Chain A
Amino acid sequence: MTDDEKIAGLFSEIMEIPISELNDSISYNSYPTWDSLRHLQLISELEDEFDIEFCLEDITSMRTYKEVKELTRKYLQ
């Protein structure tokens, strides 16, 4: 499984959005299931999965699915 697939799997499971419906434009404000607590859970699960620790600036910058992927990849390089 690629890193992108792992991110997609986690995001889909936590936000309750089917993987087939994931797209880069999904944003914090556009999806009711993406609330502050699920954001907390998403960050935590990504950190666990990839053994990384996001800095606070990146945590607050993740406002779209595209940014979630990009910022996570940054830590995997």
Chain B
Amino acid sequence: MQTLTVYKKDLTEEFLNKLAAFLNEGFPSDTQTLWKLRFDFWWFSNPFLTDTTPVCWIIEDETTHKLAGFLGNLTVVFTYGNQPLRISDGTSWYVSKNIRGPETSSLYFTFSRQKNADIVLNTTPSSTIQNILPTLGFKKIGEDKLQNYMIIVNVAKYISMLATLLDHFSESQSDNKARIFVLASKIGNICSKILPKTKRAQIPAYDTDGRYVIKYCENSESFLEYFTEHKKGNTIEFSKDKTTLDWILFSPEVQALLHRTTAQIFTKTGEYCGYFIYDIQHVGKDTTLRIRELQLLKPEDAVIKLILKHVKIEANNAGCAAVYSGLQNPDPAVDKLLHKHILLSLKTDNRYYVKFRKNVITDVDPYSIYVPSDLDPDVGFI
């Protein structure tokens, strides 16, 4: 007999160990240790959780208390004008194959009907779920396809990572699987142009002409000192308030999980030019460097080249297989420059859907919602 349980903030060590083991069964390429780091980041360091916010929903056997299903709840804050909006983002929905059935639906309905959130956000690469979400009251936002540029840093590790991805996508994402096969064939053609680097290299501070400099940003204060809002009309955006930034960019938990780095670009004379944020993320036993945000006030060839040189060296020094750009709604000028300087790209189908709680916002066009950061349902990136 399976029952549905909602867990709030009283997460126990015993439960988290059990949950990490269960999710490792569902997503074998992600270790139990990695899941526990995610729990720390999603829940324990999350400043927006309240005593009434569910952190996850589970299905468990009433008799044996064995877990059979999970859907995580990530609470984050977006802003609409000056109005903060509480967003609930579903993550890592997994139900044991042997009990998949109406219980699976109950997990989802509990998530999508929750009353605590102003907006329920859903991201999925599965075409089946993409077809269903509109019937559940969700509206699609953003582009259909996400352009991922990639630079291979270590060919052997990259091929190993592709095998992991194929395994990861084998259950539901035939489209992505096919794309990975196409990509693998492309790699064969360009391998001769790639030289795997083995030595640790010094990260360049300046571009080749000495006009721009990259500086690491260590805390939210120095980020906010220069950050400029880039809102266009009635947009809903990931909040850049201090509380959010302290958690999302600079908390010890995000460092432990993603080694997240925030860097700012200045001219030699100290004029602020923009920022970029990147993670070192696990894909099975391999890692990649993922650029999650990149904002330039005046996109220029020299700046992009400096950033790419920087991340390639960082990726090489960290033993990564590749550098990825996973930018949502990139500035077209930045996108053009990335396209110019990066040989490989892969379009992924990770679509974003939102559902507004009734009467929260009535005048917003879903297409104007801007999600600058990558929120991945399978691994709960924020």
Contact = CB atoms under 8 A, between A and B. Distances in A.
User: Do these two chains really belong together in a complex?
Assistant: yes
Interface of A: 28-29, 35-37, 39-41, 43-45, 48, 53-54, 56, 59-63
Contacts of B128: 37
Contact of A59 (B102, B129, B135): B102
Given A36-B101, A39-B101, A60 B106 contact: yes
B139 to A, nearest CB: 14
B110 A40 contact: no
Given A37-B129, A40-B136, A44-B136, A59 B101 contact: no
Interface string B85-109: 0000000000100001111111011
Interface residues of B, number: 19
Given A36-B100, A36-B101, A56 B106 contact: yes
A41 B135 CA distance: 7
Nearest to A53: B113
A65 to B, nearest CB: 13
27 contacts: A28-B102, A29-B101, A35-B100, A36-B100, A36-B101, A36-B102, A36-B103, A36-B105, A37-B128, A39-B101, A39-B102, A39-B104, A39-B105, A40-B105, A40-B132, A40-B136, A41-B132, A43-B105, A45-B135, A53-B113, A56-B110, A59-B102, A60-B101, A60-B106, A62-B102, A63-B101, A63-B102
Given A56-B4, A56-B109, A61 B102 contact: yes
A44 B104 CA distance: 14
Q: Interface of chain B, helix or strand or loop or mixed? A: helix
Name which of B95, B105, B108, B136 has the most chain A CB atoms within 10 A of its CB. Answer: B105
A68 B110 CA distance: 19
Nearest to B95: A36
Contacts, number: 55
A57 to B, nearest CB: 9
5 tightest CB-CB pairs across the interface, nearest first?
Answer: A36-B104, A60-B102, A40-B105, A44-B135, A56-B106
Which of A28, A35, A43, A62 has the most CB atoms of chain B within a 10 A radius of its CB? A43
Contacts of B104: 36-37, 39-40
Nearest to B134: A44
Contact of B101 (A28, A48, A56): A28
Contacts of A29: 101
A59 B112 CA distance: 14
Contacts of B101: 28-29, 36, 39, 60, 63
A44 B106 CA distance: 12
A36 B99 CA distance: 10
A45 to B, nearest CB: 6
A60 B109 CA distance: 11
Contacts of A41: 132, 135
Contact of B105 (A48, A53, A60): A60
A54 B95 CA distance: 21
Interface string B46-80: 00000000000000000000000000000000000
Given A35-B100, A43-B105, A56-B4, 5 more contacts: A29-B101, A40-B108, A53-B113, A59-B105, A63-B102
Interface in B124-160: 128-129, 132, 135-137
